[in-house]
Structure 1
């Protein structure tokens, strides 16, 4: 099975599982009207819909066109950027929405007690599924030697969804233990805001890290993947040894496309360059299928 096939198979599984979670989430939200649940199931719905887009991108990203002779791999980090931006917007808008409701209670005494009972078992189940799906996508990504930007994005998204579910379950359990007529009884009316805020703050880190990594790929920055750099450099040195003098080796990663720019001294025989290039690709391609070698004069 090729790395692209592994990627597409994993995205199909993610799409189906996320859709099931989203339907279940909206059903529980319709019963409880807890905004933290809306945030949780919205994540699942976004993940399911975005998986469909990711599937299409996975199908066409390696196709070469007249205007893009290296392929359409830039669509992969571009997808990740849009997905993470949408995630961040959803996180912040959920905090703002619940903050408005909490302000209404503190300022005007207007509010409705949260319906906690159906939340806890549902969120525990969702937490298990999300972390399981995150582990599945992470393990599938490793089968591509972590070259799949799409699977890395999905894995991080599933992990965030799991954190949200865990946060809602724990918070709901704590609120359930609080006497509504006691000193902390206000949490039965405003707990939605505190739950949402508490689970959003640590969740922000993941989409921001994915955004930075994807933006670096899209803008043509050198890869920071140390395992990729170590593996490629090892093969380059091995095949150049005794034939050419290596001055510098730059490695770029755009989606699943790996571009290796090898800088060597002038006046090197063209036939030798082609032979060395074939040998390097022979070593690299079993690990990173979509690799390209470019020799440049130093």
Structure 2
């Protein structure tokens, strides 16, 4: 397979993701062991999921464009499936953490013994994780911008790193703030369940992120039309403009996207095929040339309506 800019960019970014998320996972687990904070266990688990999913994503970049007898149009649906399952995994971690920490809060309220949090190690962890996570989110977004935001894999990495970064920042700020709360005062309970309260609140706030990934991936796998209205308009304008230059009118134009692969269907009447067949051959080349300036994989079909 030739070195396509999109694939090269994805592979470079995902290799960075694998290393960074593995470091963050172990950092979260170690800090959880030192501090006893369930919030940091959540953070470490989320980073480990991102580490595993990045390995899968790297493999996908190497095979998605390979055409075979079994997969004549490539394996681009794997990108959407990857995004779908990644969203489900992140959603599962968030829901599991919410329910676990709600149980911790209820247990404390009922008088169950709850160990006091050790805040010290959290300060160093928070600063390091926020810098790494938000730095990764910016890096992925910049890499995706280089390929005109056509990489669904990098879009998923950007959102998941943003979730992880915001989660780390909020957890750190909240837990460090607990250090200044009088343990014998009315808010002294925060020294015992402050992290659980933070996890529940942040878990609920972060639920829309994986939900959005799941919704978009499911839409693509079901063969839905292109959801980006601006991109749909740009494709429509480009195609109709080139057809108009040759005095050709189309009956209908459909655009769909699966992963980083676009399928565009342009419908014509029988008369157009009869009298403009030579022009259609040439204009198809022009349309593909124009669309591929900002997209790596485009399949254009001219059909009889």
The TM-score bracket by the shorter chain reads over 0.9
2:301 aligned residue (271, 294, 297): 294
Contact 1:102 1:189 in 2 (8 A): no
Counterpart contact for 2:240–2:249, Cα < 8 Å: no
Cα distance in 2 for partners of 1:124, 1:248 equals: 54
Residue equivalent to 1:255: 259
- TM-score (norm. length: structure 1): 0.96
**Match among 240, 246, 254 for residue 250 of structure 2:** 246
Alignment of 1:166-205 (within 5 A): 166-205=169-208
Q: Which runs of 4+ in 1 moved over 4 A?
A: none
Structure 1 residues not aligned, in runs of 5+: none
User: Which residue in the other structure is 2:100 paired with?
Assistant: 97
Post-superposition CA distance 1:105-147 (Å, at most 9, x none): 2112411111112112311221121111001111111112111
Distance 2:59 2:92 in 1: 24
Q: Secondary structure at the match of 1:293?
A: strand
Quote the residue 1:283 is aligned against. Answer: 290
Task: Give the counterpart of 2:17 among 10, 14, 17.
Answer: 14
Partner of 2:145 in structure 1? 142
2:111 maps to 1:108: yes
Partner of 1:228: 231
Q: CA deviation at 1:65?
A: 2.4
Secondary structure of 1:172's match? helix
Residue 271 of structure 1 corresponds to 278
For 2:162 and 2:41, the matched residues in 1 are separated by 17
Count of aligned positions: 298
Distance 2:48 2:56 in 1: 13
Counterpart contact for 1:252–1:260, Cα < 8 Å = yes
Output one character per residue of 1:125-170: Cα deviation in whole Å (capped at 9) or x when no partner.
2112111100111111111211111110010000000111011012
Cα drift, residue 289 of structure 1: 1.4
Q: What's the CA shift for 1:93?
A: 0.7
| Cα deviation digits, residues 271-293 of structure 1 (max 9, x gap) | 32221111111111121010011
Q: Quick check: 57-66 or 251-260, which moved more?
A: 57-66
Deviates more, 1:30-39 or 1:267-276: 267-276
How far apart, in 2, do the equivalents of 1:228 and 1:147 lie? 11
Secondary structure in 2 matching 1:118: helix
